[in-house]
Amino acid sequence: MAEAAAKQRSPATPRPVRCIVKLGGAAITNKGELESIDERSLRSACAQLRQAMSGSGDAAPGKVMGMDWSRRPGDPADPAVDTDGFRGMAGLGIDTNFIVVHGAGSFGHFQASRSGVHKGGLHTPLVKAGFVATRISVTSLNQEVVRALAREGIPSIGLSPFACGWSTQQRKLVSANASQIIQSLHAGFVPVLHGDGVLDELLACTILSGDVIIRHLAQLLSPKYVVFLTDVQGVYDRPPTDSNAVLLREIEVDDNGGWSVVKPVLQGNKRGVETSVAAHDTTGGMETKILEAAAIARLGVDVYITKVGTDHSLRALKGDVDTSTDDWLGTVIRSAK
Amino acid sequence: MAEAAAKQRSPATPRPVRCIVKLGGAAITNKGELESIDERSLRSACAQLRQAMSGSGDAAPGKVMGMDWSRRPGDPADPAVDTDGFRGMAGLGIDTNFIVVHGAGSFGHFQASRSGVHKGGLHTPLVKAGFVATRISVTSLNQEVVRALAREGIPSIGLSPFACGWSTQQRKLVSANASQIIQSLHAGFVPVLHGDGVLDELLACTILSGDVIIRHLAQLLSPKYVVFLTDVQGVYDRPPTDSNAVLLREIEVDDNGGWSVVKPVLQGNKRGVETSVAAHDTTGGMETKILEAAAIARLGVDVYITKVGTDHSLRALKGDVDTSTDDWLGTVIRSAK
């Protein structure tokens, strides 16, 4: 993978990416309800992203110049566009060097599971229809995330992995040209990718998860840090619904792929020894998330996993996480080196 | 351009494309109203496309198995998905070897014109914001066209030229990799592209029109025929609102780019001599359309321009146009050879 990543690097040196942000499906959608966005969480994540980009610390944010000039359902009139306001600006005044990747949550899963898209087999009408239906659903969510970011004055650009030509071989990424992403960053846009249905060389099609996309982009673009925004505080040693669940605050990853909990010191767990305590969360996807996060951390990129819409998520997005104190709630995964 | 097209041809021989269809912005949207779809025309175009794909002539169409399993505004319940029905199908029973390209109509134009995106200059906040706003608007329409096709049981896949990595140099296409389009066709999907905001090597950004996209794809993929669905019967010798306007039924294009009206025989016009009568339509875009259509016809590909939602458009989509009789209303543009 690392080799493939190197091969696909653009000849033009990309400006260094500051942060890749995962907006977890569970964080920005209401999982129990089909295709329902958690508007409050999504809005909060976008507003915090803007704050992190503006770098103004705790200063009062300036006037937000929205970039979504489209009608919204129920809008009585055409959108107001402050062209004079934009003309008066010397620049956007924000560091847009971020990439956003979002999950599917209550978008796409219904369509994918009804048809078995992840198992492949496009020759059957059910899988073909399910592939079409799944892409319609996940791209609908992408459109809403792009619009929510644009409303916060973030120059967001939707980029579907399928349209970018990304494909897999037995679910492993084999073609993932990032030139459009790099060019978008160069031009000052914030690329917004998403978990997507893609073509698979062996299975004909499958689902490419947002977490795998992030790992690939981290390998390719070496961001300063990666943030996963979820619907729980971070990674726990057992399901967070269990009253004895302990938040794992710091996890170290070694070169061999082993990982150990550094903080808090768990009973029977020693630094450098892989913990035998399984990590869980309510989304059922935390195991995969840890594996992907560990793969990113092994590259020397710090990974912050925390709850959307909190002070902790704002600090994570700013890259301002200090694990020596106890006032930041979340999980840091980093390389042991 | 022809050379560039040849260079970009995929090594795998694509199966021959039957037809590239342009759904004109004026045909599928209400031009006077911001971001308003002409639902009736769009639905009719999709239903006729399905008929053309099913090749069943005038036979009663079979049950349509919809592929849009997403909620629609106001839907009370989750969408019904007939998985058993799909499982019982041996295949889709339609020839999906079509490409759809649509214009913007009342989507995108407002945002682009307020900001001057087509003139470039992404360094200014107004143009950057306008680019974001334009893409949000045109991709919204793309999403609706993809869904309308999917509801007719057509396995449609949205492909934004920007996301495909298409870019221009001083508004001329210089990078237009069609591998995703070809792979989508191979997999049995109907690619749905659209006029889009793209990066420009000289101007930083511009607008790439659907007509230019079609010309490029026609060069690359040699379809049997190309259909332009518009809101008027075809190309006239003067604005069609003029009661003396004459529908130009057949135009021949020679190798030098000249074109002449073959039918009807116009006063003072001779075959082989370029007509001095300017061609018009209400959309103001017919001049460009004729030039693009003429470029396609010079490749030896017949171009049919006709009104959406009529018997004539159905015949055009089926490739069943006979200019020796008078019962087909529209304009055929073909090579003089």
Tens of pLDDT, residues A134-170: 999 999 999 999 999 999 999 999 999 999 999 999 9
pLDDT at B334: 95
CB A178 within 8 A of CB A191: no
Most distant pair of Cα atoms in chain A: their distance: 64
Q: Which of A8-22, A89-103, A119-133, A293-307 has the lowest mean pLDDT?
A: A8-22
Does the pLDDT value for residue A277 go beyond 70? no
Chain A residues close to B87, C-beta within 8 Å: 124, 126
For residue A305, what are the contacts with CB-CB under 8 A and spacing of at least 6? Answer: A227, A228, A230, A234, A235, A289, A293, A330, A331, A332, A333
Q: Give the span between the Cα atoms of A206 and A183, in whole angstroms.
A: 27
Query: Which residue in the set A65, A150, A204 is minimally distant from B187, CB to CB?
Result: A204
pLDDT at A272: 35
In a mutagenesis test of the B interface, which of A33, A126, A177, A203 is the best target, namely the one with the most B β-carbons within 10 Å? Answer: A126
Q: Give the span between the Cα atoms of A310 and A152, in whole angstroms.
A: 18
Closest Cα in chain A to B167: A180
Query: Which residue in the set B34, B114, B128 is minimally distant from A92, CB to CB?
Result: B128
Answer yes or no: CATH 3.40.920.10 is held by domain A1-68+91-223. no
How does DSSP classify residue B118? G
Question: Beta partners for B252?
Answer: B260, B334
Chain B residues close to A89, C-beta within 8 Å: 125-126
**pLDDT by position in tens, chain B (length 337):** 444 443 444 445 556 899 999 999 999 999 889 999 999 999 999 999 999 999 765 445 568 999 999 998 777 777 889 999 999 999 999 999 999 999 999 999 999 999 999 999 999 999 999 999 999 999 999 999 999 999 999 999 999 999 999 999 999 999 999 999 999 999 999 999 999 999 999 999 999 999 999 999 999 999 999 999 999 999 888 888 888 889 999 999 998 878 889 999 876 544 433 333 345 433 345 666 778 899 999 999 999 999 999 999 999 999 999 888 889 999 999 999 7
Query: Which residue in the set B67, B73, B179 is minimally distant from A133, CB to CB?
Result: B67
Residue A126 to residue B205, Cβ atoms within 8 A? no
Chain B residues close to A179, C-beta within 8 Å: 165
Does the pLDDT value for residue A174 go beyond 80? yes
Listed by number, the residues of chain B in 264-323 with a beta carbon closer than 8 Å to a beta carbon of chain A are none
Candidates A16, A200, A108; CA nearest to B70 is: A108
Candidates A233, A206, A214, A217; CA nearest to A305 is: A233
Token code pair at residue A205: 């099609």
CA distances for B52 relative to A108, B21, B56, B58, B210, angstroms = 30, 11, 8, 10, 22
Number of cross-chain residue pairs from A and B with Cβ atoms under 8 Å apart: 186
- B117 reaches A (C-beta below 8 A): no
Residue B68 to residue A136, Cβ atoms within 8 A? yes
Closest Cα in chain A to B197: A157
Pseudo-torsion of CA B284, B287, B288, B289, nearest 10°? 90
In a mutagenesis test of the B interface, which of A136, A138, A167, A185 is the best target, namely the one with the most B β-carbons within 10 Å? Answer: A136
Q: For residue A18, what pLDDT band results from cuts at 50, 70 and 90?
A: very high
Average pLDDT over residues A233-256: 88
Residue A164 to residue B160, Cβ atoms within 8 A? no
Residue B91 to residue A125, Cβ atoms within 8 A? yes
Q: For residue A74, what pLDDT band results from cuts at 50, 70 and 90?
A: confident
Token code pair at residue A108: 């796409």
SS3 A335: strand
Please report the DSSP string for A170-212 in residue order. Answer: TTEEEE---HHHHHHHHTT-EEEEE-EEEEETTTEEEEE-HHH
Closest Cα in chain B to A191: B163
CB A312 within 8 A of CB A329: yes
Q: For residue A14, what pLDDT band results from cuts at 50, 70 and 90?
A: low
CA A243 to the chain's CA centroid: 28
Token code pair at residue A300: 């020397």
SS3 B26: helix
CB A235 within 8 A of CB A279: yes
pLDDT at B327: 92
pLDDT at B324: 84
Closest Cα in chain A to B70: A137
B17 phi and psi angles, rounded to 5 deg: -80, 135
Query: Which residue in the set B81, B136, B155 is minimally distant from A70, CB to CB?
Result: B136
pLDDT at A271: 39
Give start and end residues of each alpha helix (H) in chain A: 2-7, 25-28, 39-54, 83-87, 109-115, 125-151, 179-186, 210-221, 286-297, 311-318
Chain A residues close to B164, C-beta within 8 Å: 163-165, 180
Considering A44-58, A323-337, B282-296, B306-320, the range whose residues carry the highest mean pLDDT is B306-320
pLDDT at B337: 76
Residue A125 to residue B92, Cβ atoms within 8 A? yes
- A138 reaches B (C-beta below 8 A): no
pLDDT at B9: 41
Region label for A278, one of left (φ > 0), alpha (ψ between -120 and 50) or beta (otherwise): beta
Listed by number, the residues of chain B in 142-201 with a beta carbon closer than 8 Å to a beta carbon of chain A are 143, 146-147, 150, 155-160, 162-165, 167, 177, 179-180, 183, 187-189, 199
CB B87 within 8 A of CB A127: no
- A84 reaches B (C-beta below 8 A): no
Give the closest-approach CA distance of A142 to chain B in angstroms.
11
Cis bond before residue B61 (omega within 30° of 0): no
Average pLDDT over residues A79-94: 91
pLDDT at B269: 46
User: What is the percentage of chain A residues whose pLDDT exceeds 70?
Assistant: 87
pLDDT at A159: 98
For A248-271, write each residue's pLDDT tens digit.
999 999 988 788 899 998 765 443
pLDDT at A32: 87
How does DSSP classify residue A225? E
Residue B120 marked as a ligand binder = no
Token code pair at residue B146: 């993809």
pLDDT at A96: 95
Give the closest-approach CA distance of A133 to chain B in angstroms.
5
Give the closest-approach CA distance of B125 to chain A in angstroms.
6
SS3 B51: helix
CB B209 within 8 A of CB B288: yes
Token code pair at residue B137: 């608007």
Q: Give the span between the Cα atoms of B112 and B143, in whole angstroms.
A: 19
Closest Cα in chain A to B165: A180
Cis bond before residue A155 (omega within 30° of 0): no
A138 phi and psi angles, rounded to 5 deg: -70, -30
Residue A131 to residue B155, Cβ atoms within 8 A? yes
CB A86 within 8 A of CB B126: yes
Fold of the CATH domain B1-55+92-223: Carbamate kinase (3.40.1160)
Q: Give the span between the Cα atoms of A136 and B34, in whole angstroms.
A: 23
- A131 reaches B (C-beta below 8 A): yes
CB A235 within 8 A of CB A247: yes
Query: Which residue in the set A67, A111, A131 is minimally distant from B133, CB to CB?
Result: A67
Domain spans, chain B = 1-55+92-223, 231-337
Q: How many alpha carbons lie under 13 Å from residue B119 in its C-beta half-sphere?
A: 8
Chain B residues close to A67, C-beta within 8 Å: 128-129, 132-133, 136
